[in-house]
Chains A and B, each alone.
Chain A
Amino acid sequence: MFDWSIITQNADLILKGLGITLYYTVVTTALGLAIGLLVALAQLARISAISWIGLLFVEFFRNVPLLVWLLWSYYALPIFLDINISKQLAGITALSLYGAAYYAEILRAGIQTLDPGQTDAARALGMSTTQSMRRIILPQAFRRMIPPLAGQTIIQMKNTTLLSVLTIPDLLYQAGYIASFTYRPMEVYTAIGVVFLIILIPSNYLARKLEAHSQ
């Protein structure tokens, strides 16, 4: 009933797709974390205009489905603003900003729930806000937030599967491609599921180890 030979015959395509998926996961997670940190800090700023911008960013990107953001990035910019954008740039932009909204909320919670005595001690020594953030607050906030950050990164990797709607050749695209000439979608999509498991289960394990080590 199942013909698994089509998987072995097309393993090279699956590997290519995996490479693309991992590339986008790593890049958009890194960018998402960096932008998310800025947005989290913006929300904590004392100037209300800046904190409003941070809040709006989060609400915007969290509440619109990623698929819509992907299509918007690729098509709306040329249609409305006459700016031509490659699908790779559209994919990276949409995924990074979308991820950033979630990372921002995680980091903001991490910073805000930190013991206020830490800020007291840092300020009492004479540290500036930047110094206390860099040396005392953020290192602790990041460590505390490893579980939700790791969880979000796993979601980010699954989110990259939407890139196929822009015909970026990630795992899901390759799955569709292989299915289109083998007509065996069951085997193909099962194989893709297995690939995700192989990547994510060890990653989860590593994340738990990291969390234990940082305590």
Chain B
Amino acid sequence: MKFSFMNKLASAFAAVMLLTASLVQPAAATDPNLVLDRIRDSGELRVPVMIGEEPGYIRDRDSGEWGGFYMDWANDIAGILGVEVVPVETTWGNLAADFQAKKIDIAFGLNPNPKRGLVVDYLSVPLFTDAWAIVAKPGFDKKNWADLNDPSVSLVVQKGGTMQVVAEALTPKANIVVVEDRPLGVLEMQAGRADAMVLAIFDAVQVAKQTGGEIILPAPMLLNPATIGYAREEGNEGYENWLTNWVNQQRALGLAQGKLHKSFEAHGIDLSILPPEFSF
């Protein structure tokens, strides 16, 4: 009796397997328009926004509205796609999770950080290129990376940012202090625990203006490419290609560079320290 029950069970199992096999379709190549279509159908381009990132992201203190050159680019892209920009407030640290959780569609100004690149895709063309600089306490006179790479030097960097990667790569012998955000980095310098803070040049100028520190562009000048990030998901090839085209056009027409110059001027940022050959 037991034996025939097992037989029945076995044949039932086999039948189910056959039925399932016939229903499973062979893997088809995914439609490269999937993501583009999804964004256009949704009517929204969800863009991450953050405080403490002026002039890239500027939040109007009273109205709470978001602006800045990252938003200008976002609006441009959204306009062409025929959708609205929806700002999604977040932090640099949460960006990868935002992509994974499908809360955002695009992110601007990302350094192609390989660790983040394990979960996020980057465009291979940079949207703009800035340079790495330091804001130093008055009287600080080390002007190149080699001099900075010394145990007597204390450099402060923002946690999780590419500046931390740069410092660890170029100045491993220096004492590298990692802080949560930019104002805390300034505090480290004011408290005398750091000699200088590593920042992208336009951030450095901003900080120097507020705190009266000195801006130094360490030699040799180290370029910092900033590109666009987007979610790694099936069907995003069309999206990637389209964004790449847009970036190329922006750069070819000098639109990207022009926008940056205008933004910095409007914000009172004096970039005369940059050598004349330099261009975003």
Residues of A within 8 A of B (CB): 13, 71, 74-75, 78-79, 84, 165, 167, 176-177, 179-186
Contacts and interface: CB of A to CB of B under 8 A. Distances in A.
17 contacts: A75-B98, A79-B97, A165-B91, A165-B94, A176-B52, A176-B183, A177-B51, A177-B59, A179-B183, A180-B181, A181-B54, A182-B210, A183-B182, A183-B183, A183-B210, A183-B211, A185-B184
Nearest to B53: A180
Contacts of A185: 183-184, 186-187
B97 A75 contact: yes
Contacts of B89: 167
Interface string B216-257: 000000000000000000000000000000000000000000
Nearest to A180: B52
B137 to A, nearest CB: 14
A84 B46 CA distance: 14
Counting chain B residues whose Cβ lies within 8 A of the other chain, the interface size class is 20 to 34
Contact of B91 (A13, A167, A183, A184): A167
B59 to A, nearest CB: 8
B97 A180 contact: no
B86 to A, nearest CB: 13
Given A167-B91, A177-B51, A177-B52, A183 B186 contact: yes
Interface of B: 50-52, 54, 59, 61, 89-91, 94, 97-98, 100-103, 181-184, 186-187, 207, 210-211
A111 B60 CA distance: 52
Contact of A186 (B97, B100, B187): B187
Given A180-B52, A181-B54, A183-B207, 20 more contacts: A74-B101, A78-B103, A79-B100, A84-B101, A84-B103, A165-B94, A176-B52, A177-B52, A179-B181, A179-B183, A180-B54, A180-B181, A181-B52, A183-B183, A183-B186, A183-B211, A184-B183, A185-B183, A185-B187, A186-B187
A84 B103 CA distance: 8
Contacts of B207: 183
Contacts of B97: 71, 75, 79
A7 to B, nearest CB: 14
A75 B100 contact: yes
A184 B184 CA distance: 9
A79 B101 CA distance: 5
B184 A78 contact: no
A78 B183 contact: no
A84 B98 CA distance: 11
Contacts of B211: 183
B187 to A, nearest CB: 5
A173 B184 CA distance: 14
